[in-house]
Amino acid sequence: MGTISTLWELDTIGRAMDYVTNPENEHIRLQNFIENRFLDRSHTPEWIDSSDPRSGYLFLKLPISPENVVEYAVNVAARAFTAWSKTSVYQRSDVLFRIANIMEDKKDMFAVWESIDQGKQLHRARTEVDHAIEFFRYFARYILQEETNAVHLNKTARQSTLTYEHRLPVGVYAIITSSNMPLYLLASKIAPCLAFGCTGVAKPSEHTSMTAFLFAEVLRRADLPPGVMNIVFGNGPSTGSTLVGSPAIRGVSLTGGIKTGIQIRKETAADIHKRLSLDLQGSCPTLIFGDVDLESAASTAAYAAFENSGQVCLGGSRIYVHRSVYKVFLSKLIRLVLKKYRPAKDMGPVISRKHYDNIRAYLIQADEEHATFEIGEIPEEIPNDGFWVGPTILSNIHPESPLGQEELSGPVAIVYSFDTEEEVVDLCNDNRNGKGAVVLTDDLSRMRRVREHLDAELTWGNCWLGRDLGAGLNDVMAAGMGHGAGARIQDIFTRSRTVHVPSY
């Protein structure tokens, strides 16, 4: 039985782990998916070892796709674009619904492997799989309801014209995603790419490629025309760089770190016509005013800071508390985190040894700068039995310290005090990595004022993480140039053409 067909049937943690830990089974080896078929190993001269975050042991091997394989995938997508871009919205919608239905049938399987590969809790993985499915259904419905642009009559002294606009797919897209929510992020880009008539080559993070491999089987079973969407594996400097630099790539859609976004901009600078959509790592400061229920505020702040072990691009790693309630709030926050965010029971590990080392270096620097560890400690230099970092709350860090500016994407939160609205807004806006914001206050006028002055893509009032897919995202601060979901994502995957005809 082949690898994909074997993994496809393992839909419980017990069955999956029995397979992974069975010494008679070879380590899982992922295969590139190009033109609706999985390439054999002869195309892979080099492999990457990917570890199980919970144990630190080797989990699977994935190919470092060489240049010739990447170019093969891009050329296949370019050939497929001619026919796919001309399909009707009804045909594309039908494909998206088929993809969603297959994922729905296998959602337990996807959740199990997402949990194992990324290290997240199983309930969290299930939620993300449900959202991934909804992306395909959302865009399958959206393209059927899309309104045509109005026709305008232009009267001039010499000639009158009728003017209208219509949209055309951009072309072949490179889709690159990060490791914190692997399947969710992959679906958030592939769904609109297919919906609006583009083709693509996707490269997931080398740390979390398992569900992308399984998703390729969904595409095959959904009868997506060959070459319309291809998935290759590898690292950023080799595979990723080759992919985004290919002349046949017309657009790049990235979810990842700021350094990766900068590198992509450098590598594509000469190709001025290449579309870039860069949804970059940031944070969501949590603002707590003195008029809120502090138990509820502590619950929201902890959720924003430590959900998915803090590995959320909209995580609340910085918490600003009005001085009048600072001490009471901090004690409630500490008590709640110690009770509800326990490693292994309530929280998973961080994604990789490299990320573990980065967090450890950050906490060593915090200790050297005399930060107060309200809870948490510096993890061991050599991790034992996985990449576990306990929830950590720091105080006594200056807002202008590099520690307060860096986005760590881990289970570490910094708590500050403030006195006025103006002060806390300035503190938040001084951090260029701000992506969103959480405002906790029972004063609706204050909520409106503060939210209007924060440089944030999106804000939440008295809650966190709920989101309407139709809302989209804005381009603020270092958040990049991505529009997220919503109707505005058309501007990423389509281009508008204006047509003028004589008016008689």
Same domain as 387, residue 249: no
Same domain as 357, residue 298: yes
Question: According to the model, what pLDDT value does residue 93 have?
Answer: 98
Same domain as 486, residue 424: no
Name the token pair of 60.
Answer: 């699977």
Question: According to the model, what pLDDT value does residue 435 have?
Answer: 79
Q: What are phi and psi of 271, to 5 degrees?
A: -95, 80
Tell me the average pLDDT of the chain.
90
Q: Interhelix angle for 107-118 vs 182-195, to 10°?
A: 130
Query: Is the pLDDT score of 285 beyond 50?
Result: yes
Query: Is the pLDDT score of 477 beyond 60?
Result: no
**477 or 93: whose pLDDT is higher?**
93
Rounded (5°) CA angle 114-115-119:
115
Residues 71-100: tens digit of each pLDDT = 999 999 999 999 999 999 999 999 999 999
Question: What residues have CB less than 8 Å from 264, skipping those under 6 apart?
Answer: 176, 244, 252, 254, 276, 278
For strand 251-256 and strand 199-203, is the pairing parallel, antiparallel, or unpaired?
A: unpaired
Cβ atoms of residues 55 and 348 within 8 Å: no
Same domain as 102, residue 215: yes
Query: Is the pLDDT score of 470 beyond 80?
Result: no
Cβ atoms of residues 198 and 171 within 8 Å: yes
Query: Is the pLDDT score of 434 beyond 90?
Result: no
How would residue 261 be classed by pLDDT, with cut points 50, 70 and 90?
Answer: very high
* 502 within a domain of the structure (yes/no): no
- Which of 396-413 are b and which e, b meaning 16 or more Cβ less than 10 Å from the residue's Cβ? ebebeeebbeebbbbbbb
In this prediction, residues 412-437 reach a mean pLDDT of 91
Query: Is the pLDDT score of 411 beyond 60?
Result: yes
Residues 313-345: tens digit of each pLDDT = 888 999 999 999 999 999 999 999 999 999 999
Same domain as 22, residue 134: yes
Cβ atoms of residues 288 and 316 within 8 Å: no
Same domain as 333, residue 209: no
Query: Is the pLDDT score of 164 beyond 80?
Result: no
Same domain as 119, residue 56: yes
* 392 within a domain of the structure (yes/no): yes
Per DSSP, helices labelled H in 431-502 are 444-453, 490-493
Name the token pair of 165.
Answer: 């606009």
446: domain CATH number?
Answer: 3.40.309.10
* 132 within a domain of the structure (yes/no): yes
Burial class (CB in 10 A: 0-12, 13-18, 19+), 455: middle
Question: According to the model, what pLDDT value does residue 277 have?
Answer: 92
Q: How many domains does the chain divide into?
A: 2
Query: Is the pLDDT score of 472 beyond 90?
Result: no
Question: According to the model, what pLDDT value does residue 413 have?
Answer: 96
How would residue 31 be classed by pLDDT, with cut points 50, 70 and 90?
Answer: very high
**Quick one: what percent of the chain has pLDDT higher than 70?**
92
182: domain CATH number?
Answer: 3.40.605.10
Residues 196-252: tens digit of each pLDDT = 999 999 999 999 999 999 999 999 999 999 999 999 999 999 999 999 999 999 999
**Quick one: what percent of the chain has pLDDT higher than 90?**
75
Q: Look up residue 163 and give its amino acid.
A: T
Question: According to the model, what pLDDT value does residue 42 have?
Answer: 82
* 324 within a domain of the structure (yes/no): yes
Name the token pair of 492.
Answer: 């990423």
* 240 within a domain of the structure (yes/no): yes
Same domain as 7, residue 98: yes
Same domain as 304, residue 268: no
Torsion of CA 287, 290, 293, 296, to 10 degrees: 20
Query: Is the pLDDT score of 396 beyond 60?
Result: yes
Same domain as 199, residue 65: yes
The C-alpha atoms of residue 479 and residue 471 are separated, in whole angstroms, by 16
Question: According to the model, what pLDDT value does residue 149 have?
Answer: 62
**44 or 115: whose pLDDT is higher?**
115
Question: According to the model, what pLDDT value does residue 482 have?
Answer: 41
Question: According to the model, what pLDDT value does residue 313 have?
Answer: 81
Question: According to the model, what pLDDT value does residue 1 have?
Answer: 41
How would residue 122 be classed by pLDDT, with cut points 50, 70 and 90?
Answer: very high
The C-alpha atoms of residue 281 and residue 398 are separated, in whole angstroms, by 22
Name the token pair of 274.
Answer: 């290449």
- Of the listed ranges 108-112, 260-264, 455-459, the one predicted with least confidence: 455-459
Its domain, for residue 434, covers 285-461
Same domain as 246, residue 126: yes
* 472 within a domain of the structure (yes/no): no
* 474 within a domain of the structure (yes/no): no
3-state secondary structure of 222: coil
Same domain as 294, residue 224: no
* 467 within a domain of the structure (yes/no): no
- Of the listed ranges 51-60, 163-172, 411-420, the one predicted with least confidence: 163-172
Question: According to the model, what pLDDT value does residue 475 have?
Answer: 37
Query: Is the pLDDT score of 403 beyond 90?
Result: no
H or E, element range at 377? none
Provide the residue count of the chain: 504
Query: Is the pLDDT score of 433 beyond 80?
Result: no
Question: According to the model, what pLDDT value does residue 479 have?
Answer: 36
